[in-house]
A = this chain, B = another copy of it.
Amino acid sequence: MATIGGLAERLAEVVGDSHVLATPGAMEPYACDESSLAPHFPDLVVRPGSTAEVSRVLREASLRGVPVTPRGLGTGLTGGAVPVRGGLVLSLERMDRVLEVDEANLVAVVQPGLRLQELHRAVESRGLFYPPDPASLESCSIGGNVAVNAGGPRAARYGITRHYVLGVEAVLADGRVMRYGGKTIKNTTGYALPHVLIGSEGTLAVITEVTVRLLPLPREQVDVLVPFPDAGGAARAVGEIVLGKRVIPAAVELMDRAAVTAAARFLGREVPHRDAGAQLLIQLDGNDRDDLEAQVEALGGLCLDHGAADVLVATGPQARERLWSARRAVLEAVKRLAAHADFLDVAVPRARIPDFLDRIGTVAPAWGLDLAAWGHAADGNIHLAAYCPKPDPDWPRALGTLTAAVHGAALDLGGVIASEHGIGCLKRRYLGQALDSSSVELMRGVKEVFDPQGILNPGKILP
C-alpha cells in the first residue's frame, strides 16, 4: 500500500524545500503533457538535482510503495509523463547540463533534463552534429527523447535516438544506480541494457545521464519546398527521390493541404502554394556546395516529372527557418484552431504511404471529422490530426472509430501504431492489437525484473 504521509518532509531533506511542490498551483504544470489526456495531479512533485538525489528519492518511494512518474520537459504526446496513478512526479528539469562535449571521440555526455536544442547548439558550435530532431526540439528534453526513442525528420538518413545512445546511467526503482556503456560505438558486454531502457518511457528505470555519439556537422545544407497537386502524388515522388538519386535526403517532410493551412493560419503568415494538395519539404546536406546544387537540380526535375507545380529553394538561414517553423507548427496549430483535436502517430513501409493515405482518406469525412496528415515521408512515419472545428458531443466516439480504422490500416500495410511518440497511457489499449501475446508477456516479464513493485510510471505501455 502506498503511503504518502511524511514523504514530503523526507524528500525536502533530500532535495531542499523549494524542490518539493505540493500545492495544486505549483503542481499544475506537471499534471499534463502535450497530449489530449486530461490533467492528473500527483501527490507531490520532486525535482532532484543530481543522480544521488534521484537515488534517494526512489529509495524513499520504493520503501513506501509510492508510484513515481519520471518526467523530462513534458512534451510527450501519449500521456507518458502524466501521473495517472498519483504519487510522485520526479521531474528531471534541474539536471539539464551538457557535462562534456568530447570532440576527439565524437561523443557528448549530457543530463536528461537538457533541452534538445541546447544539445544541438553545444555540438554544432564545435562543428559536430547530433541528428535526432523531433519537431518539439525547442522544448523537449534529451531524457524524454531517450525514454520514447524519439525520431524526427532526419531519421530516414541519420536514424533515430536509439542509434546515437552509447551509454546510460540510470537509477533503478529501489534506488540502485547502474551504468552501462560509454564512449565506444561497439559494445557486446552481455545484454544491451541501454536498449532495453530506450523507449521504455520511464517504466523501467530513471535515466540520469546519457552518452551520445556525434557526427561531423555537414558543411552545407539546402532546403527545398515542392508543392504537389495531391498527397498521394507527393508520397509517390518520395520513393523515386530516394531510389533514383542514390542518396537518402536528410529529411523529406510531407504536409497535406489541411496541415499547411492550419500552420499558415496559426502563424498568421502567407505560405507559398498554400492551396497545393500537399507539399514536400526536402532537406539535403553534405560538404560540397556544387554537389548539393546538382542534387537539388536533379531532385527538382524528378519532382516536376512527378507532377510538382514548382520547386522553391530556400536561400539562407532565414528562409530555411521559415519553412521549418511552419512545418513544426502544424501540431500546435491544429490544437489551437480546433474545438477537439487528437493526434495519431503511425508508420508504414515507405512505399505504402500512398495506399495508406488512400485508405484513411475516406474514413474521417464519414464520421464528420477533419483530418490533417503530415510527417516524415522518407521513413514512412505519418502523423495525423483528427479534429472538429466546433464542439461536438459525438467527438469521443468518432475519434475512437477513426483511431481504430487508422491503426488497422497501418497494421494491414505492415506498419506500426506507435512510431516515434510511444505508447504512454493513450495507446495502451491498442498494444494487444499491435503485438502478439508472447511479446506482451515478455514485456511484462521485463517490467517485473526492473521494477518488481511496479512503482515506476504505472499505467503506461502495458495494458
Contact = CB atoms under 8 A, between A and B. Distances in A.
Interface of A: 102-107, 127, 148-149, 151, 155-156, 159-160, 162-163, 172, 176-193, 195-196, 198-200, 204, 215-219, 239, 242-243, 245-248, 287-288, 291, 347-352, 376, 379-381, 414-423, 431, 434-436, 438-440, 442-443, 445-450, 461-462
B186 A416 contact: yes
B288 A176 contact: no
A350 B102 CA distance: 11
Contact of A449 (B178, B183, B431, B442): B442
Most chain B CB inside 10 Å of its own CB: which residue of A107, A438, A450: A438
7 contacts: A102-B351, A155-B185, A179-B436, A187-B416, A190-B418, A190-B423, A442-B450
Contact of A462 (B106, B190, B216): B190
Most chain B CB inside 10 Å of its own CB: which residue of A215, A246, A419: A246
A435 B182 CA distance: 12
Given A104-B351, A436-B179, A188 B243 contact: no
Nearest to A129: B246
Contact of A184 (B105, B200, B348, B435): B348
A192 B163 CA distance: 13
Given A103-B243, A195-B196, A347 B442 contact: no
B195 A162 contact: yes
Contacts of A347: 184-187
Most chain B CB inside 10 Å of its own CB: which residue of A156, A188, A200: A188
Given A172-B438, A192-B162, A446-B191, A351 B246 contact: no
B349 A186 contact: no
Nearest to A419: B186
Contacts of A182: 349, 414-416
A11 to B, nearest CB: 23
B423 A188 contact: yes
A242 B185 CA distance: 15
Contacts of A380: 105, 183-186
Given A106-B242, A176-B438, A216-B246, A190 B419 contact: no
Contact of A247 (B151, B287, B376, B379): B287
Most chain B CB inside 10 Å of its own CB: which residue of A107, A159, A192, A239: A192
